[in-house]
Chain A
């Protein structure tokens, strides 16, 4: 079953509005989550690192005031795209690091969220 769940899977919003995407860690607590963005036919690009109880760390070139990240609990991080524009239309993916586990692979990805801004 899914280890990381994202919601919504698809969303359409009007230009100028804000939209929130949730990332939930289902099987374990995660102090750190990661948000990626992927444009069509391109690779995943890391946007920011979400830290539970503290401010997110943004990658160079990513506007922190436009992409608001909240990590209020050990199982939930949210990404809010504010004042969305058509160029923000993309596939947004979160990942969680189950570093507390013993499994060889510790990084799990959500199913992704398609955002279309019209």
Chain B
């Protein structure tokens, strides 16, 4: 699976949008971009995934650049409960089920 690079930490004011970047310059054509988050002392939680089109669900939006070498996870209205470590992972869809976690981005949402 391709390697990903994320900033180690970010701050965001509550109610504002949180934009979390991820670089995956070596992504292959059949690899999807997945985002998970881990709230302290809990197991990772799935957020969203995509291949090349922008995706949106009830939790977040995922913007993937046209060359697919980077993406941005957007939490439109961050709350204190969104404080967590966010992991960007690339993998072939429904294969290679063992995930390789990078260091992720620690998002701190502040009042």
Chain A residues close to B by CB (< 8 Å): 4, 6, 32, 34, 36, 43-46, 49, 91, 93, 95, 97, 99, 104-112, 114
Contacts and interface: CB of A to CB of B under 8 A. Distances in A.
Contacts of A46: 98-100
Interface residues of B, number: 20
A43 B103 contact: yes
Q: For the complex, would chain B's binding face be called helix, strand, loop or mixed by DSSP majority?
A: loop
Contacts of B34: 105
B94 interface: yes
Contact of B99 (A32, A91, A95, A104): A95
Interface string B27-56: 000000010101001111110010000000
A99 B44 CA distance: 18
Q: For the complex, would chain A's binding face be called helix, strand, loop or mixed by DSSP majority?
A: strand
19 contacts: A32-B97, A34-B97, A34-B98, A43-B87, A43-B101, A44-B38, A44-B44, A44-B99, A46-B98, A91-B41, A95-B97, A95-B99, A99-B97, A105-B46, A109-B43, A110-B43, A111-B42, A111-B43, A114-B41
Nearest to A113: B43
Contacts, number: 52
A107 B97 contact: yes
Ordered nearest first, which 7 A-B pairs have the shortest CB separation?
A109-B43, A97-B97, A44-B101, A105-B46, A43-B101, A112-B43, A109-B44
Contacts of A6: 43
Nearest to A46: B98
B27 to A, nearest CB: 17
Given A104-B49, A105-B34, A105-B49, A93 B44 contact: yes
Given A34-B97, A99-B97, A93 B102 contact: no
B7 to A, nearest CB: 14
